[in-house]
Amino acid sequence: MVIGLLLVLVGCNSDRPEPAEVDLPSVGLRVQLIRVATHPFLSRYRLTLSVAGREGCEATAELFPDTGYVGRRNLYAQASGAITVLGQYDARVVDPSSCAIRLVEFQSLTGQATYLGMFDVNAQKRWQFFPPSVRPERPFEKL
């Protein structure tokens, strides 16, 4: 009975926030993506994007939730200096000068962008940021 209880507890998701962040000194931003479990057993998470600029600006936005292995977010630098956080079902553009976060349509994301890395889970299912040298770009399939 004790072993069964232990197995159930190990299989439960914690509702403790899991932050992952990256500093982008070239644009003067710190980007943080926080994942919080919303179900004790299923792979369901709330995702919150938080940015802070060197001028003291800050902004936060709720992203499309991870409703089952769709939490990965790719991070890009646009030629304009903006940062894009791209997921399977949503895209956000961050203005580094004001920290403004806006939801955009995928079709509006045209032009050259530099892949900066991704927020994703590691082999132990822990949330973290991976630079391009560790995790190469994996584009999303848009249906």
- Domain boundaries in the chain? 15-130
Give me the tens of pLDDT residue by residue for the chain, a chain 143 residues long.
544 433 344 456 678 899 999 999 999 999 999 999 998 888 899 999 999 998 899 999 999 999 888 899 999 999 989 999 999 999 999 999 999 999 998 777 777 899 999 999 999 999 999 999 999 999 887 65
Give me the phi and psi of 73, to 5 degrees please: -130, 125
Distances (CA, A) of 64 to 85, 103, 118: 12, 10, 16
Q: What is the DSSP letter of 2?
A: H
What pTM, to 2 d.p., does this model score? 0.86
Distances (CA, A) of 16 to 39, 89, 91: 12, 24, 25
